[in-house]
Amino acid sequence: MNSSAENKPVIGISCGDLNGIGPELIIKTFADTRLLEYCTPVIFANNKVINFYRKSLADINFNFSSIKDATRINPKQVNVYNCWEEDVNITPGQLTDEGGKYAITSLEMAAQALKAGKLHGLITAPIHKKNIQSENFNHPGHTPYLKQLFEVKEVAMFMVAENMKVALLTEHVPLKDVAQYITQEAILSKLRLINESLKKDFGISKPKIAVLGLNPHAGDEGLLGKEEIEIIKPAIKEAKQKDVFCFGPYSADAFFARGQHEKFDAVLALYHDQGLIPFKSLAHGEGVNYTAGLSGVRTSPDHGTAFDIAGKGIADETSFRAALYTCLDIIYNRSENKDQYKNPLKKMSASVLRNAVDEKIALDES
């Protein structure tokens, strides 16, 4: 990533629930001033909120520039864009209407800035699904809100870590309703989006995707359910005909237990817990939630508001920092992908150059 001030990506950060661990994670992450070499952070919140949590972290040295105008961003410091001026009651660990109201104020301003191209990427701190609901905001989470805001037909909740990537066909759907969303069209659409994202966002030229079954043992040849035979297999076959390199359906329990996820670039899970339980168990605390399918880049840590530890100074920022790294990587990969389409020889030339260097090293060592 180019570290010169004029080329650094501008990364927006929504503060999440004011009473959750979001503000603490933000402060702990950007207290490492080395990150300013690679990006310009803009926190969408309020000075008083940031100062409240900064005072509770005595061992953390965190400085910022306060701004009210997006044209005044300081590329050499962390910026706090003041989304509101009024005093807000902050009660760490408590689920309050105020905490949800201002979390959405922060999210909406940051997401609109991303859509308008004023930001290169967005990292969203955790919100709570209960206190964000209002007449103006009736979404169960970030992903459906961003899908509507960006006016796209399809997005994918893509859980990303160094050792695995898991996308969800259905997200926050009651388990009793999942089967009605398992259609050939839905699977095909999601597979095509995942395939495109792996190429454009992660730089994988020939992605290999696994598809999990819906039923125990992937239906056991129809004995435990027919969705695999009647819906999932035909969808996989059609996806292959459309140049998506995918396989399955696999029995979810054996798939992860045998480490088969390591043989694929991504896994399509059919419902929330089928994908997220193994992901959170195997991602070693460094998981990132990425919204594939948007024109802008949005990532988030893979955990919630953690009210039980909010305000205690003990929240682990590992996943939040990973969300920043993933955001920057995707921005870089998209730029590289765009350049390669402009110059189709560029990728080949880079490969030839690497091989030449490797051969020279080998000769020098012989």
Q: Which domains does the chain show, CATH number per domain?
A: 1-155+287-366 (3.40.718.10), 164-282 (3.40.718.10)
Looking at every residue in the chain, the average pLDDT score rounds to 90
CA 210-213-219 angle, to 5 degrees, is 140
Please state the rounded mean pLDDT for residues 41-46: 97
CA 222-252-265 angle, to 5 degrees, is 120
Which pLDDT does position 359 carry in this prediction?
52
pLDDT of 357 strictly over 60: no
The CB-side HSE value for 338 (13 A sphere, CA atoms) comes to: 6
pLDDT of 364 strictly over 70: no
Nearest Cα to 283, choosing from 231, 318, 245?
318
| Range with lowest mean pLDDT among 209-218, 282-291, 314-323 | 282-291
Say what the pTM is.
0.87
Q: How far is CA 245 from CA 188, 228, 239, 255, in A?
A: 12, 18, 8, 18
| Range with lowest mean pLDDT among 135-144, 160-169, 241-250 | 135-144
| Range with lowest mean pLDDT among 58-72, 103-117, 266-280 | 58-72
DSSP 233: H
Which pLDDT does position 346 carry in this prediction?
46
Task: Give the model confidence (pLDDT) of 25-37 as tens digits.
Answer: 999 999 999 999 9
Please state the rounded mean pLDDT for residues 78-101: 95
Please state the rounded mean pLDDT for residues 3-8: 60
Report the alpha-carbon distance of residue 16 to residue 3 in Å, rounded: 28
Residue 20: which pLDDT band, with cuts at 50, 70 and 90? very high
Query: The tokens 């870089």 sit on which residue?
Result: 332
Which pLDDT does position 1 carry in this prediction?
36
Please state the rounded mean pLDDT for residues 310-335: 95
The answer to whether the CB of 126 falls within 8 A of the CB of 22 is yes
Which pLDDT does position 284 carry in this prediction?
80
Torsion on CA atoms 197, 199, 204, 209, rounded to nearest 10: 50
Number of H-type helices and E-type strands within the chain = 11, 12
Please state the rounded mean pLDDT for residues 312-339: 92
pLDDT of 353 strictly over 70: no
Please state the rounded mean pLDDT for residues 215-230: 89
Burial (0-12, 13-18, 19+ Cβ within 10 Å), 217: middle
Strands 266-269 and 246-250: unpaired
Structure tokens at 126: 């955790």
Task: Give the model confidence (pLDDT) of 191-221 as tens digits.
Answer: 999 999 999 999 999 999 999 999 999 888 8
Which pLDDT does position 221 carry in this prediction?
85
| Range with lowest mean pLDDT among 152-161, 165-174, 220-229 | 220-229
- 180-212: burial string, b at 16+ Cβ within 10 Å, e else: eebebebbbbbbbbbbebbbbbbbbeebebbbb
Q: 111 by DSSP, 3-state: which?
A: helix
